[in-house]
Structure 1
């Protein structure tokens, strides 16, 4: 399936909710939450994209990195590329509902697996959507990761128990969803967590635990202290707080604080395999991909998701060849100017 066709189809299916711009940078959709835009002025959304643009790659062509290995191992699973489909729910109120929640979940999970990687499922005010995500993970033999909204701990632990039944690779919460307007509008407010509350959640399960929504080194250190297996450096796609820095801007200091102590994933503004390379060079172990996956699913279901991921894998591979990187571990800050 051609990327151009995917975009054209997604544009029709998401009309009125997402323009499916040729360059997705959050300008025309600023303030459209619910919807696909960023909070307030959309500055946080734009910062995610613009901070990545500032980073430049150092081209090298005298070396023997002719057939780079793009694979990594994560949560006991070998992935052909260090890209995970991000946890996204709410088709009806954010994306227009041309796909049912079940269709979206299956497209993301199966399309990700077809591309040699995995997907995450999300949570929203309608519990049935979380359950749909779990059923999707069950249908792919546990090769997925459910992420839960930061509700009261008692409710989160109930949802962790439901997750354990489908034997996923890991489980987590997106703390960056604290204060999310789409939850409040449905009468299910979410909020921040204390260190002791996080420790209770991590210790409530034997599954690897992920904290999504870390934007400062001190909170990354807290994630380590409470025993989390991984963090996701993320501002929730710029959808919860206006005027935050871009993820690429804060990632280096977080990496300097906790690299080697915890798995570091990065999420925000990634639009190409070159952007993936940049995040890895800044110190991320892998990245999460959000809006491009939505476009892939709406533009071509499972095949569309696979096509988007394969395109990014090819772009990452080319970037590795032209910077002299034999494998993912070879990608570091010496390969970029930032």
Structure 2
């Protein structure tokens, strides 16, 4: 994988929608929703990166972690690393449309599988977006996880049943999509869910159910009470509500409250394997990556997605060697530097 070539090709393909900045921090694209930016001032987007940057690592080299294992699993699915592709949709209005929705999500799902991990797919105002994701997952023998917007109850259940028919590993709702501007513009009703409504959705399937977009302890505890199998600590990439904290800021308290009762995943501002290590040390069981993989897909197809995921996995392994972690399970809060 030639990262310079991938970035150059992606910049051309994404022209007018993503500048493929040297540092993807949301400054150049603030307020560009639809587009690749964060909503409003873009603070929520930038806070994801700032939150990760605020944490430093304790370097340790007197130990036996010479060749750490980064393998893990999710819902019984073995993963080569805890790094997965976040659900992303909207190539026409978010990414310029140089690649079709179906081709894009196919690159994400296939590239993720080739890297030994899982690609998640999304939902959007155009029904073809969700359908494209299911087609991509079906093409990889069910190796993927579809996420549905918080639509009407019966619509969600129908979309879950369609996912079940493709043999997916799990299914979920990105509850933080309740305020998506793009959905509103396209006349697609979305909104918050009560605890009873959430229970109704979860009990409609035997698949593991994921609630994506949790940013507070009380809502993490509500997800446990409703019977969810996993949560994703996420502010939707800063694309929903302006001035939200970064995911890494709220993750430790959430993990302290519910880890062990439910799988805790996280996303937001992940740009390297070191960022992945930080989130794992702060309490996450796995990590989702979004915008960097858009660059990988538009610049190098499935191979570009695979290459970037493998690059982050290699960085994670190197960071584990230098912090004394021999396996994913051995990553702990002591990895994080805390000044006296």
TM-score computed with the length of structure 1 as normaliser = 0.99
2: distance between equivalents of 1:213 and 1:286?
Answer: 15
Partner of 1:11: 11
Tell me which residue corresponds to 2:181. 181
Which secondary structure does the structure 1 equivalent of 2:199 belong to? helix
Q: Does 1:73 align with 2:77?
A: no
Q: Offset at 1:135?
A: 0.8
CA distance in 1 between counterparts of 2:243 and 2:129 reads 30
Work out the CA distance in 2 between the residues paired with 1:121 and 1:26.
22
- Secondary structure in structure 2 of the residue aligned to 1:206: coil
Residue matched to 1:97: 97
1:262 match: 262
Q: How does 1:272-287 map to 2 (within 5 A)?
A: 272-287=272-287
Post-superposition offset of 1:129:
1.3
Note the alpha carbon deviations across 1:219-263, whole angstroms, 9 max, x for none: 000000010000000000000100000000000000011010000
Corresponding residue SS for 2:179: coil
DSSP 3-state at the match of 1:337? coil
Moved beyond 4 Å, runs of 4+: none
Task: Tell me the distance in 2 between the aligned counterparts of 1:181 and 1:30.
Answer: 15
1:157-214 Cα distance to aligned partner (Å, 9 max, x none): 1101111110100000000111100100100121111000000000000000000010
2:61 paired residue number: 61
**Is the CA contact (8 Å cut-off) linking 1:151 and 1:191 kept in structure 2?**
yes
Structure 1 position 49 matched with structure 2 position 49: yes
1:294 matched to which residue of 2?
Answer: 294
Specify every segment of 5 or more residues in structure 1 that has no aligned partner in the other structure, as ranges: none
Three-state SS of the structure 2 residue aligned to 1:311 is helix
Give the whole-Å Cα distance in 2 for the aligned partners of 1:91 and 1:256.
Answer: 37
C-alpha deviation, 1:297, in angstroms: 0.5
For each residue in 1:98-155, what CA deviation from the matched residue of structure 2 results, as whole angstroms up to 9, or x when unmatched?
A: 1111111110011001111010010001111111110111110001000000011111
CA contact (8 A) 2:13 2:298 kept: yes
Match of residue 323 from structure 1: 323
CA distance in 2, matches of 1:307, 1:5: 12
In 2, the alpha carbon distance for the partners of 1:304 and 1:93 equals 22
3-state SS of the aligned residue for 1:178? helix
**Paired residues for 1:247-258 under 5 Å:** 247-258=247-258
Separation in 1, partners of 2:270, 2:254: 18
| Secondary structure of 2:68's aligned partner | coil
Within 2, Cα distance between the matches of 1:291 and 1:192? 25
Aligned to 1:130: 130
* Partner Cα separation in structure 2 for residue 52 and residue 292 of structure 1: 16
Query: What residue in structure 2 maps to residue 222 of structure 1?
Result: 222
- Report if the CA contact (8 A) 1:179-1:189 is conserved: no
* 2:245 corresponding residue in structure 1: 245
- Aligned residues of 2:152 and 2:189 also touching (Cα < 8 A): no
TM-score, normalised by the number of residues in structure 2: 0.99
- Counterpart CA distance in 1 for 2:180 and 2:88 is 13
What CA distance in whole angstroms lies between the structure 2 residues aligned with 1:224 and 1:56?
31
What's 2:32 paired with? Answer: 32
What SS is found at the alignment partner of 1:58?
coil
**Aligned pairs for 1:132-171 within 5 A:** 132-171=132-171
Matched, 1:205 2:205: yes
SS at match of 1:56: coil
